Chain A
């Protein structure tokens, strides 16, 4: 209905006053639901100030082409968070970890070590960068714990990682399995450590890296049959990365020869 203004102003085509109540009621409902969300929703991510913003500092001494892919990180990660892509940002950061851990680090003499055979001082921080973005990325914790403990011999860093993993994933009991294995390693109880790792590798979410670590432990102890069995499982597993499959073929060949010689 047209309203006619008598004050000489514009007679606006206003709806009846009742229609203004509708947005008011809807706004009240929005606020009500917001309050409900606030009270019931536990945000499963650490606050944004816990994100690792300064990862690029770890590689500032390297030339740009020596830096791992995606290691610029930092505020780009915040950008990913701001557009609602935490998991994807964590995935990209994870690729960076794999690039880093698989890279050849150069020694001062100008030689590089074997593939994945370096010190990787920034490894823990790089993995924390991933897990602070997505604390439910359990594989990252497991992989990181394995790499830090058995790859770079820094079990304390591995424990820090796992402690944070347990905090954000309290029901994911496999972290505790890895904690146990690390503690046994530190105490020199290799038998108990191996038992826990055997338990860990039974599960499909166990990183192939951990399987390869256990296989190498068996190989060093002289238990070639068990080592061979693990490498055969790695080769058969469709989800194993190609690099590990290549390693598996190589190890199977070596172990096969050793087992043949010992017959």
Chain B
């Protein structure tokens, strides 16, 4: 059960401004979003493409800067490097420089996340075993398949033993076996004490793992639904999602 707020987002707004031929064009990424994530929970951000899921995650991670509002992580106002150190991020599509080996990249990311140099080799080995990439650690990135890169991506998110995992569309594009593996991995990590925030638009998978779901539409957090409201009710989450999005106007950005 969730106890206290680990991540608190307060009135977060992100407006993109582009100027073209002297005219400024504004797009709202996220509008007045407030949300709390509690220790130990699995929270899913659900929304259509362009609803603001990735924008929200990037605002938490410091890749984007808010127009208004604030984010507090572990009680500290972001940006704060000691707070960010406890976060592991899995991007939607893994991008790695191709000339390095799997092991080299993992150790590099571990060092950047503050893992002591004398521990990094062992930690890397452990994490590679966890994600089933131990036997491929000597492979160059350019020689790795998409599935291997996905597992490496997860490994780099775990190397520094973070308290919060932020996963951007972790199940998109996976085959059924991959889906099952990822689902099991997320649940296992949660059992080990990690808090998980992930985004997705695949409702059928979200309802299997999330403890709470937030529905985003047009950059706004329309509704937060606890799992009791859809658990064991076939199609309940999907119906709630469709109803919520339609009533919100289903505005796409």
Contacts and interface: CB of A to CB of B under 8 A. Distances in A.
Complex contact flag A–B (Cβ < 8 Å): yes
Interface of A: 1-2, 4-5, 9-13
A9 B16 CA distance: 10
A2 B70 CA distance: 9
A13 B71 CA distance: 13
Contacts of A11: 65-68
B65 A2 contact: yes
Contacts of B17: 10
A189 to B, nearest CB: 75
A12 B70 contact: no
B78 interface: yes
B182 interface: no
> Which secondary structure characterizes the binding site on chain A?
loop
B31 to A, nearest CB: 13
A1 B78 CA distance: 8
Given A2-B77, A2-B78, A2-B79, A13 B65 contact: yes
Given A2-B65, A2-B78, 19 more contacts: A1-B77, A1-B79, A2-B66, A2-B77, A2-B79, A4-B69, A4-B70, A5-B67, A9-B67, A10-B15, A10-B17, A10-B65, A10-B67, A11-B65, A11-B66, A11-B67, A11-B68, A12-B65, A13-B65
Nearest to B79: A2
Nearest to A12: B65
Interface in B52-81: 65-70, 77-79
A4 B66 CA distance: 8
Contacts of B78: 2
Nearest to B66: A11
Nearest to B77: A2
A12 B68 CA distance: 10
Contacts of B70: 2, 4
Among B15, B67, B77, the most chain A Cβ lie within 10 Å of the Cβ of B67
